[in-house]
A and B are shown apart, each in its own frame.
Chain A
Amino acid sequence: MTVQSNAPLNAPNNNETDSHEIVNTAPAPRTPLREFWHYFSSNKGAVAGLVFIVLIFLMAIFANVVAPHSPSDQMRDALLLPPAWLEGGKWTYFLGTDDVGRDIFSRLIYGARLSLSVGAFAVTISLILGILFGLVAGYCKGVVDVIIMRIVDIMLAMPSLLLAIAVVAILGPSIFNAALAISLVSLPNYVRLTRAATMSEMSRDYVTSSRVLGASPLRLMFICILPNCLAPLIVQATMGFSSAILDMAALGFLGLGAQPPTPEWGSMLADALQFVQRAWWVVTFPGLMILITVLAFNLMGDGLRDALDPKLKQ
């Protein structure tokens, strides 16, 4: 491109070619997905969390292949065996055995299956119901909104663990009831998030314009509004996974979740309480497993939040 040295100021063709050249030198824009991955992968903690989550999911799915022993087999000749690297430990019982001779490593692997299923169950149920109630509250406003939000407020006034305990106390202790209680207590967060996002999207012009075009309320809610509220919901669901695992373990520990022979991380801890002084490993590894898994989900949630929505960045 050549520009005459004394061309008049701002000739129209000049304008076009000039700005074109400037754009060319700027870096090419990325697709949303690549941009998301760029931000997400720059957060080392989030990537570490993701890797661990993938690993533990694989471990849970292929538990019967990965685990060296059955979680319920009681090895009478190997009671309270220490981990392999300690004096008296055996490599076949990598992390030692518990008081009735069950392999801790295998129980942890099967425990992952349980914890992750409960997490997935709770997140799915509360996500679906939360989105439904949140959309309805945000869309309908008025009395419906007030009633839903009052109930949400009441639920939020109670600590989630206490509410879960109350629910389990009524329904009786079992894994399923505990999972149900956990989905119920995490509901308010999803309702509030969806409602807030819906209300802010409702005031946007694109919603008004599709309403003018005659879109039905259902179409408005699920096709127009919902996709625009997804980012905070995805983050909340990731965090919800971690709190579901944590609450499940707490209920198990209190004897209100999984019942004894089931290899659940929290109830494994509760069983091991009396051996704290003699065999530290029966207590240490299940707890460590809970901590690392919960941490991995929280790390990933943080990374997702930063990558998905700069506005949510804290």
Chain B
Amino acid sequence: MSLLQLENLSVTFGNFRAVDNISYKVEEGEVLGIVGESGSGKSVSSLAIMGLIDFPGNVTADKLTFEGQDLQTMPEKQRRKLTGSDIAMIFQDPMTSLNPCFTVGYQIIEALKTHQGGSKKELKTRAIELLTQVGIPAPESRLDNYPHQLSGGMSQRVMIAMAIACNPRLLVADEPTTALDVTIQAQIIDLLIELQREKQMGLVLITHDLALVAEVAHRVIVMYAGQIVESGPASEVFRSPKHPYTQALLASLPESAAGKARLEALPGVVPGQYDRPQGCLLSPRCPYATDHCRQVEPDNQGPIERQVKCHTPLNSEGRPAA
């Protein structure tokens, strides 16, 4: 039984489909990387898993289960018991994600108290333990600090402490390092991966940092305009991408530009609400697009563990197959 399983999950805001029929699984102890440009629906899909999409957003799915429990039909109260304890999430901007009016200690203890309870003293000891675990020096004195007294990296560590407070089975990290300094980024990722291995959590790592995903993820999903365009084991996807979009993303990495004067870039932007093309969503930007691509939307092709949403998947030389 998978830890998290979703089938045909869609999130719509009025007429706009932010997430369009995506399906994936996360196994226990697995790191799943989700990559894509800004606006490709990565964050929205993870908020949908957490049950944090508000009106006017609407979430539909054929299947949305956590450890076999159906998250959709489950009563609100029961679902809240899962969120924050078994499924936890950390967000992009740690500086705005902590409540400025409460101390760090209060916010960590609140998470503990909501799901586990315990005496004041126990909770405090546990909070100090957590801060130590995420590598915050002098945790006792940090408990009484307000978020504005912490640096960005420190705040993200506190967010992680809060997220792992109740020993979650699944941790969703939504671009956890985007808002941080480069030097801090590696530290935070190391911390996350270390915690993930230690606790054997499932980790969904949402990012647009391809190099990072290549390094730490077991499996990877590439999203474009709300759809999954390619998925598979990280090493395979990066070694021989089957989708033109993945290929273009990889080509835009500085590493692949070695010896060239300029970085490769994909022309155009992700289609929004008003400029959604017919057929394959990538067709206006795809260098290999045919008239067929511009008229008919492709289906997912290939075995379940290595799928690609393209009429003409690329072969190992990086050329369209047909």
Per the CB under 8 Å rule, do A and B touch in the complex?
yes
Cβ < 8 Å to A, chain B residues 18-66: none
Interface set of A (CB-CB < 8 Å, partner B): 3, 5-11, 14-15, 18-19, 21-22, 25-27
Interface string of B247-258 (1 = CB under 8 A from A): 110010000000
B274 close to A18 (CB less than 8 A): no
Contact between B275 and A10 (Cβ–Cβ < 8 Å)?
A: no
Contact A15 B274 (CB under 8 A): no
Contact between B289 and A5 (Cβ–Cβ < 8 Å)? yes
In the complex, what residues of A have CB within 8 A of residue B287's CB? 3, 6-11, 14
Point out which of A3, A9, A21 has the most chain B C-beta atoms below 10 A from its C-beta: A9
Closest Cβ–Cβ distance, residue A225 to chain B (whole Å): 32
Q: Are A22 and B284 in contact (CB under 8 A)?
A: yes
Q: List 21 A-B contacts (CB under 8 A).
A: A5-B289, A5-B320, A6-B320, A7-B288, A8-B287, A9-B247, A9-B248, A9-B251, A10-B265, A10-B267, A15-B267, A18-B285, A19-B268, A21-B284, A22-B271, A22-B275, A22-B284, A25-B274, A25-B275, A25-B277, A26-B275
Chain A nearest Cβ from B130, distance in angstroms? 39
Q: Pick the contact of A10: B264, B274, B284, B290 (CB < 8 A).
A: B264
Task: Decide if the interface of chain A is mainly helix, strand, loop or mixed.
Answer: loop
Collect the chain B residues with CB atoms within 8 Å of residue A6's CB.
287-288, 319-320
Q: Which residues of B contact A25 (CB under 8 A)?
A: 274-275, 277
Q: Is B150 an interface residue (CB 8 A)?
A: no
- How many B residues face the partner with a CB closer than 8 A? 22
Sort A-B residue pairs by CB-CB distance and give the 9 closest, nearest first: A25-B275, A15-B267, A18-B267, A7-B287, A9-B287, A5-B290, A18-B268, A26-B275, A19-B268
Do B267 and A14 have beta carbons less than 8 Å apart?
yes
Knowing A22-B269, A22-B284 are in contact, say whether A9-B274 is a contact too (CB < 8 A): no
List chain A residues, Cβ under 8 A from B184. Answer: none
B266 sits at the interface (CB 8 A)? yes
Closest to A12 in B: B267
Q: How far is the CA of A7 from the CA of B266 in the complex (A)?
A: 13
A268 and B275 alpha carbons, distance in the complex (Å): 61
Known: A9-B264, A10-B287, A22-B268. 13 other contacts (CB 8 A): A5-B288, A5-B289, A6-B320, A7-B287, A9-B251, A9-B287, A10-B248, A11-B287, A14-B287, A18-B268, A19-B267, A22-B269, A22-B284
**Bound Cα distance from A3 to B285, whole angstroms:** 10
What are the interface flags for B267-295 relative to A under an 8 Å C-beta threshold, 1 for contact and 0 otherwise? 11101101101000000110111100000
